[in-house]
Amino acid sequence: MDSGLSFSAADLAQTRFAVSPMWETVTSFRVLSRPSDTSPHRRWAAQVRPRVVRAGLDRGWLAALVPAHGYLADFLTPTPTGPFPTLDAEVDAIRRTPPEQVRDDLRRLGVEGVDGPRIRLLREAPEAALAKVADEIEAYWELALAPYWARVQKLLEADVFHRARQVAEHGSARVLSELHETVRWDDGTLRLVRRHCALTRDQAGSGLLLIPSAFAWPKVLTRSVHPDPPQLAYPARGIGTLWEPRTTAATDAVAAVLGRSRTLLLTELDTPASTTQLATHCGLSAAGVSQHLIALRNAGLVTAHRSGRSVLYARTAVADQLLNP
């Protein structure tokens, strides 16, 4: 089935790009619910899935609202207000979802007759339920995405800047045609080929929001909620190399400034790790690693993220740039 989104000159003028933490939240959760050895995210999933399961998030609110296939609740992907919204801003928008939209999304999910406690609360007391959904989103983010966000965000922002430059050089039509193999521009209409859900102008407002995504691969996903502009989430460029270990060509130069132990820790943090894991891998004492991590965190080179009873440390984008100038 093909669907078409017609464009006026005004619609083209209102077409924009945005990086959305919530799109990455729902699509990454879907990746975890569909284990696949062929997924480009298998390295990430192998690290994250055990944490999510231990926290019980694999059978919580997101599991009810983000099935492994098909439609997912639209209120989980509110319209970004700018090109780079924060997770907090998008979660606040979720908390403010009108009750009628929540109930409409439940109908589209096909859970109208389901009487589980979560679905029932969403249907009967949406405001209370949305507060619980928001809390779970924040918990999932801290476990699954926050330690990796610097890397994912860099990929998504690079995609936006590349395509914005392409628009300036070649025009919107060419860029729209190159988003995905199932998307093509045809005489004033954006056509989505082989899609079960239609995307038409009468379902949504004016313009178009283009959302690069690391985890939507290999498909494009859409959101149409009137009067918001339609959204199209597409696989960002460079996903295949997202989880490859980063080279550290500047290790010696960085060690001359930070010291070899702290540079070694930064190198090990190509994958988020706990103090105990770092001590084991680096041959340092846990107390020594802890002191070094405090110094690196104060310098903005690492971030800390709670994972159950332990804390995971992750390298920041600043540290990545330092090690890979």
Q: Is the peptide bond before 227 cis (omega within 30 degrees of 0)?
A: yes
What is the tens place of the pLDDT at every residue in 164-175?
Answer: 888 888 888 788
Using N-to-C axis directions, what is the helix angle for 87-95 and 126-140, rounded to 10°? Answer: 160
Q: What's the token pair of residue 82?
A: 């700018």
Residues in the chain: 325
Lowest mean pLDDT among 104-108, 115-119, 131-135, 147-151: 115-119
Cβ neighbourhood burial of 287 (10 Å; 0-12, 13-18, 19+): exposed
- For the chain, the C-alpha Rg in angstroms (whole number) is 21
* Residue 183 binned pLDDT confidence (cut-offs 50, 70, 90): confident
Please name the residues in contact with 274: beta carbons below 8 A apart, sequence gap of 6 or more: 307, 310, 311, 312, 313
Closest CA to 91 of 22, 44, 37: 22
- State mean pLDDT over 15-32: 96
What is the tens place of the pLDDT at every residue in 186-237?
Answer: 877 887 776 555 666 677 788 889 999 999 999 899 898 888 999 999 999 9
> What is the SS3 assignment for 111?
coil
Q: Is the pLDDT of residue 308 over 80?
A: no
Q: Is the pLDDT of residue 180 over 80?
A: yes
- Average confidence score pLDDT of the chain: 88
Q: Is the pLDDT of residue 113 over 60?
A: no
What pLDDT was estimated at residue 3? 60
Contact 261, 288 (CB under 8 A): yes
Q: Is the pLDDT of residue 11 over 90?
A: no
What pLDDT was estimated at residue 106? 92
> How far is it, in rounded angstroms, from Cα 124 to Cα 98?
13
Q: What are phi and psi of 221, to 5 degrees?
A: -125, 150
Closest CA to 63 of 96, 34, 36: 34
- State mean pLDDT over 94-104: 96
- Strand 231-235 and strand 208-213: pairing? parallel
Rank 126-140, 239-253, 282-296 by mean pLDDT and report only the highest: 126-140
> What is the SS3 assignment for 191?
strand
Contact 122, 107 (CB under 8 A): no
Q: What's the token pair of residue 245?
A: 């270990």
Closest CA to 265 of 215, 225, 325, 319: 319
> How far is it, in rounded angstroms, from Cα 195 to Cα 25?
22
What pLDDT was estimated at residue 248? 66
What is the tens place of the pLDDT at every residue in 239-269?
Answer: 999 998 776 667 888 888 899 899 999 988 8
Higher pLDDT, 245 or 135: 135
What pLDDT was estimated at residue 198? 60
- State mean pLDDT over 40-63: 93
Higher pLDDT, 4 or 24: 24
Q: Is the pLDDT of residue 91 over 90?
A: yes
Q: Is the peptide bond before 325 cis (omega within 30 degrees of 0)?
A: no
What pLDDT was estimated at residue 256? 87
What pLDDT was estimated at residue 27? 97
- Strand 183-186 and strand 208-213: pairing? unpaired
What pLDDT was estimated at residue 17? 94
